Amino acid sequence: MELHRFELEPEVREWLDSLSDSEYKRVDEVAGLLAEKGTGLGGPWSDHLEAQVWELRVRVARSAVRVTYWCRPDGTIVMLTVFRKSREHDQRQIDRAVRDQQKCERDHRRPAEQTYERQA
């Protein structure tokens, strides 16, 4: 089975860097499931939000955190935004993720040239 590759927008990189080692490990475990299944991952770990945007659901420090992403035609998963879930349906955060996805699709024609490595 071939795993999906990931690309990270700066907001997601900064958030990952801010996590403790144990929090990062938890996010890495859930991201590993996403790498295996892609948009077929489904609940409780992932859900479709709107247009081409999905959310990855993670619990970090007793908070429900959402990492939005989309899957490019080549199968690469692009992590877009991060937010703490504060209500059942946060349309403002969904709209922000959709705008970022559209900008990403329009402006990023080539694969990322940097590799993310955890600074622990």
Global pTM value? 0.87
Residues 35-94 have pLDDT tens digits of 999 889 988 999 999 999 999 999 988 889 999 999 988 888 999 999 998 777 789 999
Distance between CA atoms of residues 22 and 61, nearest Å: 9
- 77-84 sheet: strands from edge to edge: 6-8, 77-84, 63-71, 53-60, 46-50
Residues 93-110 have pLDDT tens digits of 999 999 999 998 888 766
Closest CA to 53 of 39, 68, 66, 65: 68
Per CATH, which fold does 6-107 belong to? YaeB-like fold (3.30.2310)
Q: Where are the domains of the chain?
A: 6-107
Phi/psi at 41 (nearest 5 deg)? -60, -50
